[in-house]
Structure 1
Protein backbone atom coordinates (compact mmCIF):
# COMPACT_ATOMS: atom_id res chain seq x y z
CA UNK A 1 0.00 0.00 0.00
CA UNK A 2 2.86 2.45 0.77
CA UNK A 3 4.29 2.06 -2.75
CA UNK A 4 0.84 2.75 -4.25
CA UNK A 5 0.52 5.98 -2.24
CA UNK A 6 4.05 7.10 -3.16
CA UNK A 7 3.63 6.40 -6.88
CA UNK A 8 0.22 8.07 -7.19
CA UNK A 9 0.52 11.01 -4.80
CA UNK A 10 -0.91 14.22 -6.29
CA UNK A 11 2.41 16.01 -5.76
CA UNK A 12 5.90 15.32 -7.08
CA UNK A 13 7.83 13.10 -4.65
CA UNK A 14 11.47 12.10 -4.76
CA UNK A 15 13.77 10.16 -2.49
CA UNK A 16 17.23 11.71 -2.71
CA UNK A 17 20.61 10.43 -1.59
CA UNK A 18 23.32 13.10 -1.67
CA UNK A 19 21.10 15.04 -4.10
CA UNK A 20 20.85 12.07 -6.48
CA UNK A 21 17.34 10.86 -7.31
CA UNK A 22 16.91 7.28 -6.11
CA UNK A 23 13.21 7.11 -6.73
CA UNK A 24 10.49 9.50 -7.86
CA UNK A 25 6.81 9.23 -8.54
CA UNK A 26 4.53 9.71 -11.53
CA UNK A 27 3.69 13.34 -10.69
CA UNK A 28 7.40 14.21 -10.48
CA UNK A 29 7.83 12.72 -13.96
CA UNK A 30 4.90 14.71 -15.34
CA UNK A 31 6.19 17.94 -13.82
CA UNK A 32 9.72 17.57 -15.19
CA UNK A 33 8.61 15.88 -18.47
CA UNK A 34 10.63 12.73 -17.86
CA UNK A 35 9.85 9.06 -17.30
CA UNK A 36 10.33 8.58 -13.52
CA UNK A 37 12.44 5.47 -14.12
CA UNK A 38 14.87 7.49 -16.25
CA UNK A 39 15.33 9.90 -13.31
CA UNK A 40 16.75 7.21 -11.04
CA UNK A 41 20.47 7.78 -10.50
CA UNK A 42 20.27 11.31 -11.97
CA UNK A 43 21.52 14.35 -10.08
CA UNK A 44 18.77 16.75 -9.11
CA UNK A 45 21.10 19.40 -10.53
CA UNK A 46 19.96 18.44 -14.03
CA UNK A 47 16.64 20.13 -13.27
CA UNK A 48 18.15 23.42 -12.10
CA UNK A 49 18.73 26.33 -14.45
CA UNK A 50 22.46 26.30 -13.79
CA UNK A 51 25.20 24.64 -11.78
CA UNK A 52 25.48 27.91 -9.85
CA UNK A 53 21.80 27.67 -8.84
CA UNK A 54 22.30 24.05 -7.81
CA UNK A 55 25.29 24.92 -5.62
CA UNK A 56 23.86 28.13 -4.13
CA UNK A 57 20.45 26.71 -3.27
CA UNK A 58 22.09 23.51 -2.06
CA UNK A 59 24.33 25.40 0.36
CA UNK A 60 21.35 27.35 1.70
CA UNK A 61 19.32 24.15 2.06
CA UNK A 62 22.12 22.26 3.79
CA UNK A 63 22.57 25.05 6.35
CA UNK A 64 18.85 25.04 7.16
CA UNK A 65 18.67 21.25 7.32
CA UNK A 66 21.60 21.10 9.73
CA UNK A 67 19.54 23.25 12.10
CA UNK A 68 16.05 21.80 11.66
CA UNK A 69 16.25 18.73 9.41
CA UNK A 70 13.93 20.49 6.95
CA UNK A 71 14.13 22.97 4.11
CA UNK A 72 11.67 24.63 1.76
CA UNK A 73 11.77 27.33 -0.84
CA UNK A 74 10.33 28.43 -4.13
CA UNK A 75 12.61 28.58 -7.13
CA UNK A 76 12.65 28.43 -10.90
CA UNK A 77 13.48 24.96 -12.19
CA UNK A 78 13.79 23.46 -15.63
CA UNK A 79 11.89 20.66 -17.35
CA UNK A 80 13.62 18.18 -19.64
CA UNK A 81 12.48 20.17 -22.69
CA UNK A 82 14.24 23.27 -21.33
CA UNK A 83 11.11 25.18 -20.31
CA UNK A 84 11.27 26.94 -16.98
CA UNK A 85 8.71 26.97 -14.20
CA UNK A 86 8.34 28.14 -10.61
CA UNK A 87 8.57 25.21 -8.25
CA UNK A 88 7.95 24.86 -4.51
CA UNK A 89 10.43 22.38 -3.03
CA UNK A 90 10.22 20.95 0.48
CA UNK A 91 12.61 18.46 1.97
CA UNK A 92 12.88 16.38 5.12
CA UNK A 93 16.18 14.71 6.00
CA UNK A 94 16.00 11.09 7.08
CA UNK A 95 19.61 11.25 8.30
CA UNK A 96 19.89 14.26 10.67
CA UNK A 97 23.65 13.91 11.22
CA UNK A 98 24.22 14.17 7.48
CA UNK A 99 21.18 16.03 6.07
CA UNK A 100 21.74 15.33 2.35
CA UNK A 101 22.63 11.66 2.81
CA UNK A 102 18.99 10.60 2.49
CA UNK A 103 15.78 12.58 2.37
CA UNK A 104 12.27 12.79 1.01
CA UNK A 105 11.35 15.82 -1.08
CA UNK A 106 8.14 17.22 -2.52
CA UNK A 107 7.94 19.37 -5.64
CA UNK A 108 4.91 21.43 -6.65
CA UNK A 109 4.50 23.19 -10.00
CA UNK A 110 3.49 26.83 -9.42
CA UNK A 111 3.19 27.71 -13.14
CA UNK A 112 -0.45 28.70 -12.93
CA UNK A 113 0.24 31.05 -10.02
CA UNK A 114 3.53 32.66 -11.10
CA UNK A 115 4.85 34.16 -14.28
CA UNK A 116 8.26 32.99 -15.41
CA UNK A 117 10.42 35.91 -16.42
CA UNK A 118 14.02 35.56 -17.60
CA UNK A 119 16.12 36.52 -14.60
CA UNK A 120 19.80 36.37 -13.82
CA UNK A 121 21.00 34.24 -10.91
CA UNK A 122 21.39 37.33 -8.71
CA UNK A 123 17.96 38.69 -9.73
CA UNK A 124 16.40 35.36 -8.73
CA UNK A 125 18.14 35.47 -5.35
CA UNK A 126 17.01 39.05 -4.71
CA UNK A 127 13.45 38.17 -5.82
CA UNK A 128 13.27 35.18 -3.48
CA UNK A 129 14.61 37.11 -0.51
CA UNK A 130 12.29 40.04 -1.28
CA UNK A 131 9.33 37.64 -1.18
CA UNK A 132 10.54 36.41 2.20
CA UNK A 133 10.11 39.96 3.47
CA UNK A 134 13.76 40.94 3.80
CA UNK A 135 14.71 44.59 3.48
CA UNK A 136 17.32 45.73 0.98
CA UNK A 137 19.85 46.01 3.80
CA UNK A 138 19.10 42.47 5.02
CA UNK A 139 19.36 41.10 1.48
CA UNK A 140 22.65 42.95 1.03
CA UNK A 141 24.07 41.37 4.18
CA UNK A 142 22.93 37.90 3.17
CA UNK A 143 24.24 38.16 -0.41
CA UNK A 144 27.29 40.28 0.43
CA UNK A 145 26.02 43.21 -1.68
CA UNK A 146 25.67 46.89 -0.90
CA UNK A 147 22.24 48.31 -0.12
CA UNK A 148 22.39 50.37 -3.34
CA UNK A 149 23.20 47.30 -5.45
CA UNK A 150 20.18 45.47 -4.01
CA UNK A 151 18.05 48.51 -4.81
CA UNK A 152 19.31 48.39 -8.42
CA UNK A 153 18.33 44.71 -8.66
CA UNK A 154 14.91 45.52 -7.23
CA UNK A 155 14.47 48.30 -9.80
CA UNK A 156 15.28 45.82 -12.59
CA UNK A 157 12.76 43.36 -11.15
CA UNK A 158 10.10 46.09 -11.04
CA UNK A 159 10.69 46.81 -14.75
CA UNK A 160 10.79 43.15 -15.79
CA UNK A 161 7.54 42.36 -13.98
CA UNK A 162 5.81 45.62 -14.93
CA UNK A 163 5.27 46.55 -11.29
CA UNK A 164 5.04 50.14 -10.06
CA UNK A 165 6.01 49.52 -6.43
CA UNK A 166 7.54 46.83 -4.24
CA UNK A 167 4.21 45.54 -2.90
CA UNK A 168 2.98 44.96 -6.45
CA UNK A 169 6.25 43.17 -7.33
CA UNK A 170 5.91 40.87 -4.30
CA UNK A 171 2.30 40.14 -5.27
CA UNK A 172 3.36 39.22 -8.81
CA UNK A 173 6.27 37.11 -7.60
CA UNK A 174 4.13 35.26 -5.07
CA UNK A 175 1.19 34.70 -7.40
CA UNK A 176 -1.22 36.72 -5.32
CA UNK A 177 -4.12 38.46 -7.05
CA UNK A 178 -3.49 42.15 -7.68
Structure 2
Protein backbone atom coordinates (compact mmCIF):
# COMPACT_ATOMS: atom_id res chain seq x y z
CA UNK A 1 0.00 0.00 0.00
CA UNK A 2 2.88 2.40 0.74
CA UNK A 3 4.25 2.05 -2.80
CA UNK A 4 0.79 2.70 -4.26
CA UNK A 5 0.41 5.92 -2.23
CA UNK A 6 3.94 7.13 -3.07
CA UNK A 7 3.79 6.27 -6.77
CA UNK A 8 0.34 7.80 -7.36
CA UNK A 9 0.37 10.80 -5.01
CA UNK A 10 -1.09 13.93 -6.63
CA UNK A 11 2.10 15.85 -5.81
CA UNK A 12 5.61 15.16 -7.05
CA UNK A 13 7.63 13.17 -4.50
CA UNK A 14 11.30 12.22 -4.39
CA UNK A 15 13.73 10.56 -2.04
CA UNK A 16 17.18 12.13 -2.22
CA UNK A 17 20.52 10.76 -1.03
CA UNK A 18 23.46 13.17 -1.26
CA UNK A 19 21.28 15.30 -3.60
CA UNK A 20 20.78 12.40 -6.03
CA UNK A 21 17.25 11.23 -6.83
CA UNK A 22 17.00 7.66 -5.59
CA UNK A 23 13.25 7.36 -6.03
CA UNK A 24 10.54 9.52 -7.58
CA UNK A 25 6.85 9.15 -8.29
CA UNK A 26 4.78 9.52 -11.45
CA UNK A 27 3.69 13.10 -10.71
CA UNK A 28 7.30 14.20 -10.22
CA UNK A 29 8.16 12.65 -13.59
CA UNK A 30 5.20 14.48 -15.21
CA UNK A 31 6.21 17.80 -13.66
CA UNK A 32 9.79 17.53 -14.88
CA UNK A 33 8.87 16.02 -18.26
CA UNK A 34 10.57 12.66 -18.17
CA UNK A 35 10.06 9.10 -16.99
CA UNK A 36 10.55 7.73 -13.50
CA UNK A 37 13.35 5.52 -14.81
CA UNK A 38 15.17 8.44 -16.48
CA UNK A 39 14.97 10.57 -13.32
CA UNK A 40 16.06 7.82 -10.92
CA UNK A 41 19.73 8.21 -9.95
CA UNK A 42 19.85 11.65 -11.58
CA UNK A 43 21.66 14.39 -9.64
CA UNK A 44 19.01 16.95 -8.64
CA UNK A 45 21.54 19.52 -9.90
CA UNK A 46 20.26 18.74 -13.42
CA UNK A 47 16.83 20.19 -12.54
CA UNK A 48 18.07 23.58 -11.32
CA UNK A 49 18.17 26.57 -13.67
CA UNK A 50 21.82 27.30 -12.88
CA UNK A 51 24.78 26.12 -10.80
CA UNK A 52 24.40 29.30 -8.70
CA UNK A 53 20.79 28.39 -7.83
CA UNK A 54 21.86 24.87 -6.86
CA UNK A 55 24.65 26.21 -4.65
CA UNK A 56 22.45 28.89 -3.05
CA UNK A 57 19.71 26.41 -2.10
CA UNK A 58 22.36 23.99 -0.81
CA UNK A 59 23.87 26.69 1.41
CA UNK A 60 20.40 27.59 2.71
CA UNK A 61 19.62 23.96 3.54
CA UNK A 62 22.85 23.60 5.49
CA UNK A 63 21.88 26.56 7.70
CA UNK A 64 18.47 25.18 8.69
CA UNK A 65 17.91 24.47 12.36
CA UNK A 66 17.73 20.64 12.72
CA UNK A 67 14.81 21.07 15.14
CA UNK A 68 12.74 22.70 12.37
CA UNK A 69 10.01 20.43 11.05
CA UNK A 70 10.63 20.93 7.33
CA UNK A 71 11.92 23.36 4.73
CA UNK A 72 9.65 25.09 2.22
CA UNK A 73 10.16 27.60 -0.56
CA UNK A 74 8.97 28.59 -4.01
CA UNK A 75 11.61 28.67 -6.68
CA UNK A 76 12.25 28.35 -10.36
CA UNK A 77 13.25 24.88 -11.53
CA UNK A 78 14.07 23.45 -14.97
CA UNK A 79 12.19 20.73 -16.80
CA UNK A 80 14.19 18.17 -18.75
CA UNK A 81 13.23 20.08 -21.92
CA UNK A 82 15.03 23.14 -20.53
CA UNK A 83 11.81 25.06 -19.85
CA UNK A 84 11.89 27.04 -16.61
CA UNK A 85 8.89 27.02 -14.28
CA UNK A 86 7.86 28.06 -10.76
CA UNK A 87 7.69 25.25 -8.26
CA UNK A 88 6.72 24.93 -4.59
CA UNK A 89 9.23 22.71 -2.81
CA UNK A 90 8.80 21.22 0.65
CA UNK A 91 10.85 18.62 2.38
CA UNK A 92 13.05 17.55 5.16
CA UNK A 93 16.19 15.64 5.84
CA UNK A 94 15.68 12.35 7.64
CA UNK A 95 19.26 12.74 8.87
CA UNK A 96 19.25 16.27 10.38
CA UNK A 97 22.89 16.08 11.48
CA UNK A 98 23.81 15.45 7.80
CA UNK A 99 21.25 17.46 5.77
CA UNK A 100 22.13 15.96 2.38
CA UNK A 101 22.50 12.34 3.43
CA UNK A 102 18.84 11.42 3.00
CA UNK A 103 15.66 13.44 2.56
CA UNK A 104 12.09 13.36 1.32
CA UNK A 105 10.82 16.21 -0.85
CA UNK A 106 7.57 17.25 -2.53
CA UNK A 107 7.21 19.40 -5.64
CA UNK A 108 4.14 21.25 -6.94
CA UNK A 109 4.12 22.90 -10.36
CA UNK A 110 2.96 26.53 -10.07
CA UNK A 111 3.41 27.43 -13.74
CA UNK A 112 -0.34 27.79 -14.42
CA UNK A 113 -0.56 30.51 -11.75
CA UNK A 114 2.84 32.12 -12.08
CA UNK A 115 4.60 32.69 -15.38
CA UNK A 116 8.37 32.76 -15.43
CA UNK A 117 9.86 36.19 -15.93
CA UNK A 118 13.57 36.41 -16.58
CA UNK A 119 15.17 37.54 -13.32
CA UNK A 120 18.72 37.88 -12.15
CA UNK A 121 19.62 35.71 -9.15
CA UNK A 122 19.61 38.84 -6.95
CA UNK A 123 16.19 39.93 -8.26
CA UNK A 124 14.93 36.44 -7.47
CA UNK A 125 16.26 36.72 -3.90
CA UNK A 126 14.63 40.13 -3.46
CA UNK A 127 11.34 38.86 -4.94
CA UNK A 128 11.23 35.88 -2.56
CA UNK A 129 12.03 37.96 0.50
CA UNK A 130 9.53 40.64 -0.56
CA UNK A 131 6.82 37.97 -0.73
CA UNK A 132 7.76 36.92 2.79
CA UNK A 133 6.83 40.44 3.90
CA UNK A 134 10.31 41.79 4.60
CA UNK A 135 10.96 45.52 4.25
CA UNK A 136 13.71 46.85 1.99
CA UNK A 137 15.88 47.46 5.07
CA UNK A 138 15.30 43.90 6.36
CA UNK A 139 16.09 42.41 2.95
CA UNK A 140 19.19 44.57 2.67
CA UNK A 141 20.41 43.40 6.04
CA UNK A 142 19.79 39.73 5.18
CA UNK A 143 21.52 40.01 1.78
CA UNK A 144 24.29 42.35 2.90
CA UNK A 145 23.11 45.19 0.64
CA UNK A 146 21.89 48.72 1.22
CA UNK A 147 18.15 49.30 1.35
CA UNK A 148 18.53 51.65 -1.65
CA UNK A 149 19.97 48.78 -3.68
CA UNK A 150 16.99 46.65 -2.65
CA UNK A 151 14.65 49.46 -3.73
CA UNK A 152 16.40 49.51 -7.12
CA UNK A 153 15.88 45.75 -7.49
CA UNK A 154 12.22 46.19 -6.51
CA UNK A 155 11.85 48.93 -9.15
CA UNK A 156 13.19 46.50 -11.77
CA UNK A 157 10.75 43.85 -10.53
CA UNK A 158 7.83 46.30 -10.78
CA UNK A 159 8.77 46.99 -14.40
CA UNK A 160 9.31 43.34 -15.34
CA UNK A 161 6.00 42.25 -13.79
CA UNK A 162 4.12 45.32 -15.05
CA UNK A 163 3.03 46.17 -11.52
CA UNK A 164 2.29 49.71 -10.37
CA UNK A 165 2.85 49.28 -6.64
CA UNK A 166 4.43 46.82 -4.23
CA UNK A 167 1.14 45.08 -3.25
CA UNK A 168 0.41 44.38 -6.93
CA UNK A 169 3.94 43.02 -7.38
CA UNK A 170 3.54 40.71 -4.38
CA UNK A 171 0.19 39.51 -5.76
CA UNK A 172 1.74 38.76 -9.15
CA UNK A 173 4.76 37.05 -7.61
CA UNK A 174 2.56 34.87 -5.43
CA UNK A 175 0.12 33.98 -8.22
CA UNK A 176 -2.80 35.75 -6.57
CA UNK A 177 -5.35 37.62 -8.68
CA UNK A 178 -5.06 41.40 -8.57
User: Unaligned 5+ residue runs, structure 1?
Assistant: none
Q: Distance in 1 between matches of 2:69 and 2:52?
A: 23
Structure 1 stretches of 4+ with a deviation exceeding 6 A read: none
CA RMSD, 1 decimal = 1.1
How many residue pairs were aligned? 178
Q: Give the match for residue 38 of structure 1.
A: 38
Moved more, 3-12 or 35-44: 35-44
Scaled by the length of structure 2, the TM-score of the pair is: 0.96
Offset of 1:22 from its aligned partner?
Answer: 0.5
Q: Is the 8 A contact 1:65 1:93 kept in 2?
A: no
If each structure's helix is expressed as a fraction of its own residues, which one has the higher value? 1
Q: Deviations over 1:35-54 (max 9, x none)?
A: 11111221111111100001
Q: Give the match for residue 137 of structure 1.
A: 137
Q: Distance in 1 between matches of 2:30 and 2:118?
A: 23
Q: Is the 8 A contact 1:64 1:70 kept in 2?
A: no
Cα distance change, pair 156–175 in 1 and its aligned pair in 2 (3 A): same
User: Unaligned 5+ residue runs, structure 2?
Assistant: none
Q: Is the 8 A contact 1:32 1:78 kept in 2?
A: yes
Is structure 2 residue 61 aligned with structure 1 residue 90? no
Scaled by the length of structure 1, the TM-score of the pair is: 0.96
